[in-house]
Chain A
């Protein structure tokens, strides 16, 4: 079971890429392939980012420490899809037309916050190795808490780019906010106390 955990995450994270490749081979990238690629890589990046953020609170609530490696893997794949998303924007959508790209970034706040989130994810991906962990010592943990900021920026990115109906981006935002809440020490303590009490009550019953 434990042995299969990491390969299972790899497979899960690669499925969206395989779907895109198979759509491409079957000529099913819709009438507007570049937009389709942009949207699906963006959506996948956000989903994996949310899943990555969910691991810490899930471990806290369930005490399933075995889940730990998933956090880094999911985060790296989120950065990978975000990099694809960004490359498609620059290389396919705007075809390296820097003037138009520059104008678009300045004119459209959603691109600016997307870029900020992408920068955070890139720094985190680079510093995710053991070597960097050693080098950054105590700074590593606070640095990697920026993932919450990335999550919030991507939510904003998404809210600002939908046409009008913001319910779906808000859903992602709410999930990320909930996970963030669970990490605030005061709230964490309350939950721990509550858990201890029910645990000892169960023990008393037995």
Chain B
């Protein structure tokens, strides 16, 4: 009998096999044997083909390590991700400090397949594992004054060599309006392809907001702070005319550099049309009703 060496099994195969198995479980659940909600992936990618594990993990914008997307995978190996604490603080009734393991056991981990659209005009489809931002916020109980959620990445230049580049104002900061953060799509991801989050993808915990350009989905988070004033993100400081607070995927707001009307899906040859809110219009457009999105880009 020919043995398959484990090194020959790609993460894709493992993941897809498991998913087939879980769909089977789902069928059993339908007749009332297992609760399916925590195991069945919610496929917000609408059954689109997943981007390969290799591409997802070797084509990374993570300037804390390098501005060269090819280099990040190797350089990020230097990051120590355990122990890792995430502080929940600011305008909340229940400030707290959690280890990532705490968070993983406290909140049921779900699988979500999301499209990711980078402002540079390329996109991927990624199977994440994580839990809704809303679950954490509900437990933290934002006070009535809290209007925004501000998140901060680890600052550790000894391991994150890119933070020695003085051009940018480290650490990386991002923010969401509270109602955006409470939207069901907003996820704190702790894994992808069924494995722990690789360092280059923002280990051990990152945000995923698929209707916004990729840079909004801040990586390697150490602090979540509820605030009253709109936070200023690193990119808003670096180039205020180009990167606004909202940064929703929007084919009608052009960028001085990259086409926002079209994009290249990694692994494909021809460009595709970019969709409003990256195709998540149904889920998020109500957040912006009455807003001029050309002004609030």
| A interface list, Cβ under 8 A from B | 30-32, 34-35, 92-95, 97, 100, 103-104, 107-110, 160-161, 163-165, 167
Known: A30-B70, A110-B256. A95 touches B261 (CB 8 A): no
Contact status B59-A164, CB under 8 Å? no
Chain B, range 247-293, C-beta contacts under 8 Å to A: 254, 256-257, 259, 261-262, 264, 266-267, 269-271
**A160 to B258 alpha-carbon distance, docked (Å):** 11
Instruction: Other than A100-B259, A100-B271, A107-B254, give 12 A-B pairs with Cβ distance below 8 A.
Output: A30-B70, A34-B269, A35-B120, A35-B264, A93-B264, A95-B271, A97-B271, A108-B256, A108-B257, A163-B239, A164-B167, A164-B238
Contacts of A104 in B (CB 8 A): 259
> A109-B256, A110-B256, A110-B257 known; A31 and B59 CB under 8 Å?
yes
Contact A31 B271 (CB under 8 A): no
User: Which 6 A/B pairs are nearest by Cβ-Cβ distance?
Assistant: A31-B59, A31-B55, A164-B238, A165-B167, A31-B266, A164-B239
List residues of chain A with CB within 8 A of the CB of B58. 30-31
Bound form: Cα–Cα A160–B167 in Å: 16
**Set of chain A residues within 8 Å of B267, measured between Cβ atoms:** 31
Total residue contacts A-B, CB cutoff 8 A: 57
A54–B67 CA distance with the chains assembled, in angstroms: 29
CB closest residue in chain B, given A33: B269
Question: Inside 8 A of A92's CB, which chain B residues have their CB?
Answer: 269
A95-B270, A100-B262 known; A32 vs B59 contact (CB < 8 Å): yes
What chain B residues lie within 8 Å of A107 (beta carbons)?
Answer: 254
Q: Considering the chains assembled together, what is the distance between the CA atoms of A107 and B55 in angstroms? A: 30
List the A side residues contacting B238 at CB < 8 Å.
163-164
B44 part of interface (Cβ distance < 8 Å): no
Q: Find chain A residues with CB under 8 A from B120 CB.
A: 35, 163
A-B contact pairs, 26 of them (CB 8 A): A30-B58, A30-B69, A31-B54, A31-B59, A31-B267, A32-B59, A32-B122, A34-B264, A35-B122, A35-B264, A93-B271, A95-B269, A95-B271, A100-B261, A100-B271, A107-B254, A108-B256, A109-B256, A161-B257, A163-B120, A163-B257, A164-B168, A164-B235, A164-B238, A165-B165, A165-B167
In Å, the complex CA distance between A104 and B165 comes to 31
Give A139 to B243 CA distance when docked, in angstroms: 47
- Number of chain B residues close to chain A: CB under 8 A: 27
Q: Roughly how many angstroms separate A71 CA and B155 CA in the complex, as a whole number?
A: 48
Do A160 and B257 form a contact, CB below 8 Å, given A31-B55, A165-B67, A167-B167? yes
Residue interface bits B90-121, CB-to-A below 8 A is 1, else 0 = 00000000000000000000000000000010
**A50 CA to B163 CA in the complex, in Å?**
31
In the complex, are the beta carbons of B70 and A94 less than 8 A apart?
no
Closest B residue to A167 using CB positions: B167
Minimum CB–CB distance from A164 to chain B (whole Å) comes to 4
Determine which residue in A30, A95, A97, A160 has the highest number of CB atoms from chain B within 10 A of its CB, and name it. A30
Across the interface, which residues of B come within 8 angstroms of A30, CB to CB?
Answer: 58-59, 69-70
The complex places the Cα of A94 from the Cα of B262 at a distance, in Å, of 10
A177 to chain B, nearest CB (A): 21
Chain B, residue nearest A95 (CB) = B270
- Give the residues in chain A near B270, CB-CB below 8 Å: 95
What A residues does B271 contact at CB under 8 A? 93-95, 97, 100
Residues of A within 8 A of B59 (CB): 30-32
Could you tell me the distance between the alpha carbons of A35 and B257 in the complex, rounded to whole angstroms?
13
Nearest chain B residue, comparing its CB with the CB of A92: B269
B168 neighbours in A (Cβ, 8 Å): 164-165
Contacts of B262 in A (CB 8 A): 100
A32–B271 CA distance with the chains assembled, in angstroms? 12
Instruction: Tell me the complex Cα distance, A93–B167, Å.
Output: 30
Choose among A30, A32, A93, A97 the residue with the greatest number of B CB atoms under 10 Å from its CB: A32
Q: How far is the CA of A96 from the CA of B256 in the complex (A)?
A: 21
Chain B residue with minimal CB distance to A111? B257
Residues of A within 8 A of B122 (CB): 32, 35
- Distance in angstroms from A35 CB to nearest chain B CB is 7
Query: Which residues 18-67 of B sit at the A interface, judged by CB distance below 8 A?
Result: 54-55, 58-59, 67
CA distance A160 to B255 in the complex (A): 11
Pick from A35, A103, A164, A167: contact of B261, CB under 8 Å: A103
Give the docked Cα–Cα distance between A161 and B257 (Å).
Answer: 6
Residues of chain A lying within 8 A (CB to CB) of residue B54: 31
Taking the closest CB of chain A, its distance from the CB of B120, in whole angstroms, is: 8
Contact A160 B261 (CB under 8 A): no
CB-CB < 8 A to A164: which residues of B?
Answer: 167-168, 235, 238-239
